[in-house]
């Protein structure tokens, strides 16, 4: 009887130890998963900052080179398009790596970047102005490939389409893999009126007596 009781208790202890080990293993797996995600995101942000710094330096060097050429004796020989074609290779590699790191490469073609560079050089813009469209990650529909005169969208709504728009109405627009959730909010109305005030009405008289201290 004593031996059986000992074996039963030992089996329960082993079962409890096994469950604790399993829960601890799951906790370790969960902890390692979020640690891996944290380090992956930190590494991606570090890589983006590094490539952004290189892109800034490359753009500043390219614009400084164009400025030096303009100040030289034959500075007027190149137009904006020719100047852009001359300095574009010096910053193309840094720009391509940055766009790849930020997943913006499909949005900007080489021709569009070259045209934007020529436009900035013709307006004597700064390197920061040239880099602004690439530093600000816009929506997917801002890509030039999505610019069309006519687009087909599917409208999904619980309200009847024949009814006019009203406050707090929500509907969804779909086009392929893109879904837009739209909320309608009524703007406040302001009634502005003009009133002419007589300048004499803004005057007042301050009467002082001998007991008043000023």
The pLDDT tens digits of the residues spanning 120-145 come to 888 888 899 899 889 876 555 555 55
* Three-state helix/strand/coil letters over 82-129: HHHHHHHHHHHHHHHHHHHHCCCHHHCCHHHHHHHHHHHHHCCCCHHH
Q: How confident is the model at residue 4 (pLDDT cuts 50, 70, 90)?
A: very low
Does the pLDDT at position 204 exceed 70? no
Highest mean pLDDT among 54-63, 139-148, 158-167, 190-199: 54-63
HSE-up of residue 205 (Cα within 13 Å, Cβ side): 2
Average pLDDT of the chain? 78
Task: Specify the pTM.
Answer: 0.54
Question: pLDDT > 90: what percent of the chain?
Answer: 22
C-alpha to C-alpha distance for 90 and 105, rounded to whole angstroms: 18
Rounded mean pLDDT, 38-57: 91
For the stretch 74-115, pLDDT in tens is 555 678 888 899 899 999 999 999 999 988 888 888 999 999
The DSSP call for residue 200 is: G
């Amino acid at each position: 009887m004593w031996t059986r009781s000992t074996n039963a208790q030992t089996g329960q202890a082993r079962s409890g130890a096994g469950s604790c080990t399993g829960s601890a293993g799951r906790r370790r797996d969960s902890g390692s998963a979020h640690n891996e995600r944290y380090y992956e995101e930190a590494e991606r942000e570090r890589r983006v900052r590094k490539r952004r710094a290189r892109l800034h330096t490359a753009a500043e060097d390219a614009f400084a080179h164009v400025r030096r050429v303009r100040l030289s004796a034959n500075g007027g020989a190149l137009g904006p398009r020719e100047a852009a074609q001359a300095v574009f290779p010096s910053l193309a590699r840094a720009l391509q790596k940055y766009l790849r790191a930020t997943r913006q490469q499909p949005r900007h073609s080489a021709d569009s970047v070259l045209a934007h560079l020529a436009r900035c050089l013709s307006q004597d813009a700064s390197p920061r102005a040239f880099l602004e469209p690439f530093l600000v990650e816009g929506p997917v529909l801002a890509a030039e490939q999505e610019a069309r005169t006519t687009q087909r969208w599917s409208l999904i709504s619980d309200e009847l389409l024949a009814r006019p728009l009203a406050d707090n109405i929500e509907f969804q627009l779909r086009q392929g893999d893109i879904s837009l959730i739209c909320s309608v909010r009524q703007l406040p109305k302001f009634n502005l009126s003009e009133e002419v005030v007589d300048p004499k009405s803004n005057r007042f008289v301050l009467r002082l007596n001998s007991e008043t201290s000023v």
